[in-house]
A and B are shown apart, each in its own frame.
Chain A
Amino acid sequence: MATYWFQKTHEYIAEIDGEYRVGISEFAAQELGDITFVELPEVGATFTRGDSFGTVESVKAVSDVYAPADLEVTAVNEELADEPEKVNADPQGDGWFIKAKLSDASQLDDLMSKADYDAMNKEAG
């Protein structure tokens, strides 16, 4: 069972089998277009909510990706180095960026549910 939270800058954090994963939303992947490169942090790095923890590059633009909560990186998706297209194919699944440990899971309460996030994009769209 997976639960997804989203933030305004289009990253999601998902709890899947007791593990947290962070990536960019389907909406973001679609807006960015074909992704050509993903730069990810080292395992063990820590970030405060709102810090940029990596960058994602498409033929259109290079964008920062921001930590949705205070976190420590426990794994990075090494496959994205050779196959950045995974982010386009399945951003909220196989195209995850990092796995993380949260220091304060209550920060997730400040994020948006999928319904609220979809509504935000629809309004802006």
Chain B
Amino acid sequence: MARLIFDKSRPGSRRYDVADFTGLEPESPFVPDDIRRAEPLPLPEVAEVDVVRHYVKLSQENFGVDVGFYPLGSCTMKYNPKANEEIASLPAWAQLHPEQPVETAQGALALMHELQESLAEISGMHAVSLQPAAGAHGELTGMLMFRACFNDAGEERKVMIVPDSSHGTNPASAAIAGFKVAHLKSDERGMVSAKALKALCEKHGEENIGGIMMTNPNTLGVFEQEVKEVAEYLHEIGALLYYDGANLNASLGYVRPGDMGFDLVHFNLHKTFSTPHGGGGPGSGPVGVREKLMPYLPHPLVTRAEGGFAFYRPEKSIGRMKLYFGNFLVLVKAMVYLRALGVEGLKRVAENAVLNANYIQERLKDAYDIPFYQRCMHEFVLSATRQKKLGVRALDIAKKLLNDGFHAPTIYFPLIVSEAMMIEPTETESRQTLDAFCDAMLRYAREIEEDAEKFKELPNLRIQHLDEVAAARNPVVRWAPEKL
């Protein structure tokens, strides 16, 4: 195990000390005596070269999409082209100050405007706000806008419907915005059925229904076939439809949420549009809306003005969701990606994402159970129930994948599949990589049948017994010095 930088401290070995104020003016009249620090902070004392080695070693313990295959279902861990980074780090973007006059930052506004328009076109929406900083932040933004819209109409509409195949954060976002969550059970195809929806709405009273939060394709990687009926019915009873854009990768350029009948969409730029995430963020979760919800968008939005671009605030805006302009450099990276791919390129993203997922599903379908087997979209969910009967859980298979240099898929989600492993290869992986993963999974299925106990050995991992239970029950999340 790597030691902490604090453990490596040897008094007197540091060269620079930013916390040492000896000889500096300590007598600022603005700092009261009782909050003055009597001694320097107990920072670790480590030579520069050892600091560098420490952090480089830590970085080598990381697993990211630049290191290996990362089929983490629902997260769309595609490769992030380095051109995005290169261009976003140009001083013209990176050294902008958020307080500088807009006349001097017209290029940045032009980029934001083009991104707003592009995302609106891709999703079939009328306007887009780039404010939210992450997917779930976009969800909350959307829920607050629904709420503002109902308040405006003098309607209470307390209930938000969330299918059991939707995203895990959806119920939380709805609840924070003050909705009561009603869970809708999937049918035997793993889909939302208009009939079951109608029954649920009638149970809660149609006039109380605020709307539905759906992901399409849903977390089973299945396209919701009754989405049109769902939209028609909900609009008829005055409710709204929220599209969780987590799985937008599967339908880019082919189907638009606006055309399916959704009123509001959030995008995950850090998934679909190839900006870093999974510890490498920050993320970005813009929201797009149909006309009806435009007055409530969070500000500032960018609009064309005389001689260039300007910020504006919609009349009934729910306010800001973040300081300044969202995660601006992430917006730059996404825009580079969009420009590099163009319309045809985006369509090929969806095609290859779907093709890759289906390729893996076909290769694995006999060795593992696939409870909702059908032509999948960009991901699919297999079940290790057959393996569990022999004593190997999805968790053990996930650990074995780590042992063999792959990132594990999402496991135990969605909850409607027991021993679930949710596999999303993304479009950026080669046939060779997909085959290496499939070969490993097929080999595991054989090894488990031969000797389940031996299978659970993890010879390549430096930590032999990953004890997730102890880690969850007694988390040690922070190191503290003996004296502070």
Interface positions of A (Cβ within 8 A of B): 31, 33-34, 36-37, 57, 59-61, 63, 84-85
Contact = CB atoms under 8 A, between A and B. Distances in A.
Contact of B412 (A36, A60, A85): A60
Contacts of A31: 418
Contacts of B412: 60-61
Contact of A36 (B395, B411, B469): B469
Interface string B381-421: 00000000000010100000000000000011101001000
A36 B472 contact: yes
A60 B415 CA distance: 9
B415 A34 contact: no
B306 interface: no
B413 A61 contact: yes
5 contacts: A36-B469, A37-B473, A59-B472, A60-B412, A63-B415
A72 B413 CA distance: 33
A36 B411 CA distance: 17
Nearest to A124: B418
A112 B102 CA distance: 66
Given A34-B468, A36-B469, 10 more contacts: A34-B469, A36-B473, A57-B472, A59-B395, A60-B411, A60-B412, A61-B412, A61-B413, A84-B473, A85-B473
A52 to B, nearest CB: 9
Nearest to A83: B473
Nearest to B393: A33
Interface of B is mostly: mixed
Interface string B18-38: 000000000000000000000
A56 B428 CA distance: 38
4 cross-chain pairs, A with B, having the tightest CB-CB distances, nearest first: A36-B472, A60-B412, A34-B469, A59-B468
Nearest to B414: A61
Contacts of A34: 468-469, 472
B415 A61 contact: yes
A115 to B, nearest CB: 23
Contacts of A59: 395, 468-469, 472
A61 B416 CA distance: 12
A78 to B, nearest CB: 17
A85 B473 CA distance: 9
Most A CB contacts (10 A, CB to CB) among B393, B411, B412, B473 go to B473
A37 B413 CA distance: 19
Interface of B: 393, 395, 411-413, 415, 418, 468-469, 472-473
A7 to B, nearest CB: 15
A39 to B, nearest CB: 14
Interface centre among B395, B418, B472 (most CB of A within 10 A): B472
A14 to B, nearest CB: 26
Nearest to B411: A60
A103 B135 CA distance: 43
A37 B472 CA distance: 8
Contacts of A61: 412-413, 415
A37 B473 CA distance: 7
A94 to B, nearest CB: 17
A60 B420 CA distance: 10
B181 to A, nearest CB: 9
A54 to B, nearest CB: 15
A63 B395 CA distance: 19
A103 to B, nearest CB: 21
Contacts of B395: 59-60
Contacts of B415: 61, 63
A36 B415 CA distance: 18
Most chain B CB within 10 A, of A37, A61, A84, is at: A61
A84 B472 CA distance: 11
A67 B469 CA distance: 27
A33 B473 CA distance: 13
A42 B424 CA distance: 42
A85 B395 CA distance: 19
Contacts of A84: 473
Contacts of B469: 34, 36, 59
A36 B55 CA distance: 32
Nearest to B469: A34
Nearest to B413: A61
A61 B18 CA distance: 44
B308 to A, nearest CB: 49
Nearest to B385: A125
A109 B418 CA distance: 30
Contacts of B411: 60
B230 to A, nearest CB: 24
B389 to A, nearest CB: 11
A33 B412 CA distance: 11
A59 B471 CA distance: 9
Nearest to A9: B183
A65 B413 CA distance: 18
A59 B469 CA distance: 6
A25 B101 CA distance: 63
Contacts of A57: 472
A38 to B, nearest CB: 11
Nearest to A60: B412
A63 B468 CA distance: 18
Nearest to B474: A36
A84 B474 CA distance: 11
B141 to A, nearest CB: 23
Nearest to B418: A31
Contacts of B418: 31
